[in-house]
């Protein structure tokens, strides 16, 4: 299991930092400096539906989790939404699809 579930405040900061790096790498950005929890995936980063699938797969691999692949994904609009989903997952220990 992932060790990010321990301290909620620290865990969230670690998730944000790690997620920013993953997104920058996935989208071939030079830096993750302009990315924060308010960054919108579609409007700011031009993530399309295929990009969203790639992002979810990258997050699952990186954080060793399995996220829901149903309508919950349509509610993900910002980096903060992804972080919320991950922190909820880590807190409850849910493992969709595994």
DSSP string, 54-96: HHHHHHHHHHT-----SGGGGG--BHHHHHHHHHHHHHHT--T
Structural domain for 77, as ranges: 3-92
7-50 pLDDT, tens digit each? 556 688 999 999 999 999 999 999 999 999 999 999 999 999 88
Q: What's the whole-model pTM score?
A: 0.78
Question: How big is the CA angle at 32 (ends 17 and 65), to the nearest 5 degrees?
Answer: 45
As a dihedral over the C-alpha atoms of residue 84, residue 85, residue 89, residue 92, rounded to 10 degrees, the angle is 60
Instruction: Give domain status of residue 32, yes or no.
Output: yes
Instruction: Give domain status of residue 98, yes or no.
Output: no
Q: How many domains does the chain have?
A: 1
**At 41, which CATH number?**
1.10.1200.10
For residue 84, how many C-alpha atoms fall within 13 Å in the half-sphere facing its CB? 11
Instruction: Give domain status of residue 97, yes or no.
Output: no
Share of the chain above pLDDT 90, in %: 44
Give the pLDDT score at 98.
Answer: 45
For the chain, the average pLDDT equals 82
Q: Is the pLDDT of residue 67 over 70?
A: yes
Query: What SS3 state is found at 38?
Result: coil
């Amino acid at each position: 299991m992932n060790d990010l579930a321990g301290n909620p405040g620290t865990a969230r900061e670690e998730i944000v930092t790690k997620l920013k790096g993953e997104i920058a790498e996935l989208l071939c950005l030079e830096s993750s400096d302009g990315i924060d929890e308010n960054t919108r995936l579609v409007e700011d980063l031009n993530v399309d539906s295929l990009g969203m699938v790639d992002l979810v797969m990258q997050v699952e691999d990186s954080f060793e989790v399995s996220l829901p692949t149903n309508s919950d994904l349509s509610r993900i609009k910002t980096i903060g939404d992804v972080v919320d989903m991950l922190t909820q997952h880590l807190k409850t220990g849910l493992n969709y699809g595994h």
